Structure 1
Amino acid sequence: MPISRRQLAASLLTAMHIAERHVIAAFVADVATQPAPNPFPQTSAGAVRQVWRQRAAEFRSFAIEAAGLTCLLATVSDLSVDEELMQEILRAGPYTANVFHRGDGCRIVGAVLYGKPGVGLPVIFASKPRREVLRPRLDHLRTAGQLDLFG
């Protein structure tokens, strides 16, 4: 059974070892992002290490921005080369995300979000946390003429 974008996004948010997990998860969860053809869904940590080290060099050469690449390389370098991984590929416009997990879609090993050469990473607007939305506004409590030190 294929893993849903929603599950992948939720799993990415729990992957504390990925510094840019919020940006990648927001991209995966976006309605415009769709699964892409995936010629090699089953792979190994050794293959991921080799492919993405090469891509890291290419990304530097072609000035391609990427989120999550450093974290992916650090994680797979600690794994056994024959450890089995699954790859999910998702695309929207000029952007691609590759997400690697241990086969269940929950235990994320790493993820990379990148665009085409000369295209910056997508700007993701995070929604406000629920607590902030429910917090009462204090504007109406200020008296006229009071100095606003934080405005």
Structure 2
Amino acid sequence: MVTNPLDYVEPFGKAGASGFTFHVEASKDNWQELVERIKSKGMRPGVALKPGTPIEEVYPLLEGENSVEMVLVMTVEPGFGGQKFMPETMDKVSVLRKKYPSLDIEVDGGLGPSTIDVAASAGANCIVAGSSVFGASEPAQVISLMRHSVEKAQNIS
């Protein structure tokens, strides 16, 4: 999470990033300009929100011409890896999935074999996993298990 995401759009675009996700909490005053700039650099805009931020904060960013294309629901407080998954954040995922059925909904924080089913069932279709993958003796198995859980929840074969 950075305090002024506008400062990072151009460098990320030049570096070849395909997407740029910013925190709603850090962009309340300039999110429209930020989304325009992200799209002008050929990147896909996304918005993230911390566990304590009400889901309603992202609604304005999802509606209208200049909308984001993905919402990242943080399932831990941003800042460092290895935190415990906060299951109460799944209410946000469920609400988003119901309101925006085709939206990409990403979850990040504490995702692994013991938490993936609840996230996938709530409607998350993009999963960020760090510690559970990189700390596993068989990372490919963990990735496969999580992918299968999301596909099963979405009825994808």
TM-score range for the pair, normalised by the shorter chain length: under 0.3
Larger radius of gyration: 1
TM-score, normalization: structure 2? 0.25
Q: Which has the higher contact order (CA 8 A, sep 6+)?
A: 1
Per the normalisation by structure 1, the TM-score is: 0.25
